[in-house]
Amino acid sequence: MAPQNIVVTGFGPFGEHKVNASWEAVSLLPEKLENFHLVKEQIPVVYKHVESKIPELWNKYNPKLIVHVGVSSYTSVVQLESCAHKSGYERRDIENCCPKNGAPCCAGDECIKTGIDVNKICERINKLGQFRACRSDDPGRYLCEFIYYTSLNIDRNRSLFIHVPPLNKPYTSQQLAEVLAEVIKYALIQLEEIDTAKKTEIINIYKNGRAAEAFCSFYHDNEVHD
Residue 215 lies in a domain: no
- Catalytic-residue membership of 144: yes
The domain total for the chain is: 1
pLDDT band, residue 198 (cuts 50/70/90): low
Mean pLDDT value across residues 14-23: 96
Residue partners of 134: CB distance under 8 A and separation at least 6 = 77, 78, 79, 80, 122
For residue 35, being part of any structural domain is answered with yes
- Residue 165 within any structural domain of the chain: yes
Quick check: is 225 in a domain?
A: no
Q: Is residue 206 part of a domain?
A: no
- Name the residue range of residue 171's domain: 5-192
For the chain, give the mean pLDDT.
91
Q: How confident is the model at residue 204 (pLDDT cuts 50, 70, 90)?
A: low
The yes-or-no verdict on residue 3 having pLDDT over 70 is: no
> Could you confirm whether 68 is annotated as catalytic?
no
Give the CATH number, domain containing residue 178.
Answer: 3.40.630.20
pLDDT (0 to 100) of residue 224: 46
Taking alpha carbons only, the member of 103, 87, 97 closest to residue 46 is: 97
Residues 161-176 as b or e (16 or more Cβ within 10 Å = b) = bbbbbbbeeebebebb
Catalytic, out of 17, 68, 85, 163: 163
Q: Enter the pTM of the model.
A: 0.86
Strand partners, 40: 8
Catalytic residue flag (residue 81): yes
pLDDT recorded at residue 193: 87
- Does the residue 122 lie in any domain? yes
Q: Is residue 221, in this structure, part of any structural domain at all?
A: no
In angstroms, the CA 122 to CA 79 distance is 8
The active-site residue out of 144, 145, 178, 182 is: 144
Contact 48, 97 (CB under 8 A): yes
User: Is 219 a member of any domain?
Assistant: no
Please tell me which residue in 17, 24, 68, 81 is annotated as part of the active site: 81
